[in-house]
A and B are shown apart, each in its own frame.
Chain A
Amino acid sequence: MKITNQIKDTTIIITLDGELDASSSVMLDEALSDPEIMTYSKILVDCKDLNYISSAGLGVFISHLQRFEDAQIKLIFYNMQDKVRNVFEILGLDLLMTIVSDYEEAMTIADE
């Protein structure tokens, strides 16, 4: 699992590359727990190269979502592969989290 960050003004783009399972999700949790992340108004998660997600990976996003919402930070997923999106859908998380098709749409929503 490789996690890279890119900063654009008040937006942080987190790119996930690889497989997010019980082993690798610890890295993601550390990245989202970094106090600096609370200084941005938008967190965009590029899922193009996210090939797999298990409940441990979902759990990391579930556990941080309320904290971001309370701080009025938008968390937006984009470029998600169908098989990965399907895992969010099985638990109904697609209705509780913001998942859009591409970067442009993510930026549009983020600016609303």
Chain B
Amino acid sequence: MNNKITVSCTKKNLKQIRDFVTAYLAMYKLSDIQMNQIVLAVDEICANLIIHANSEDPSKSISLFITEKAGMLKFEIVDNGVAFRRSEYKEPNIEEHIRIGKKGGVGIALVNRIMDRVEFETSDRQNTCFLYKKIK
């Protein structure tokens, strides 16, 4: 089973990433909701990296690796763009977003609520986001 995909940084490639994750997870017989949640969490991180960290520059790329060990899925998403500053992240107030008509800023909240563990690492200008999800 192929567990790695690399795509250039354009939003159109998000569909390819979602299809790849869906195909990889097919063997685990997840419920529709669980499958959708996991695909969504990966999509949210990839969308952030493509749009914010790499400014939708098609000459840049992001890579995703998926592994599973003892019922724990691990997603590694690697890029060379601007690193995510977790210390500056604030959980969104959705009612305030509605009041002011704010369009973005709820993606990471979804990821944090779906995944069991979310980690960000930066070394030698390479950023890696690790997502962990227990499925068994």
Chain A neighbourhood of B3, CB < 8 A: none
Asked whether, in the complex, the Cβ of B103 is within 8 Å of the Cβ of A54, the reply is no
Asked whether, in the complex, the Cβ of A62 is within 8 Å of the Cβ of B44, the reply is no
The interface bits of chain B over 88-118 (1 if a CB of A lies within 8 angstroms of the residue's CB, else 0) are 0000001101111111111101100110000
Q: Cβ of B1 < 8 Å from any Cβ of A?
A: no
Asked whether, in the complex, the Cβ of B102 is within 8 Å of the Cβ of A91, the reply is no
How many chain B residues sit at the interface, stated as a range, is: 20 to 34
Chain A neighbourhood of B101, CB < 8 A: 62-67
| A59–B47 alpha-carbon span in the complex (Å) | 14
Partner of A55, one of B12, B36, B104: B104
Asked whether, in the complex, the Cβ of B94 is within 8 Å of the Cβ of A21, the reply is no
Please list the residues of chain B having a beta carbon within 8 angstroms of any beta carbon in chain A: 11-12, 14-15, 18, 32-33, 35-37, 39-40, 43-44, 47, 50-51, 94-95, 97-107, 109-110, 113-114
Given known contacts A29-B103, A55-B106, A63-B97, what 12 new A-B pairs fall within 8 Å (CB)? A21-B43, A54-B40, A55-B107, A59-B104, A59-B105, A63-B101, A63-B102, A83-B32, A83-B35, A87-B40, A90-B113, A91-B110
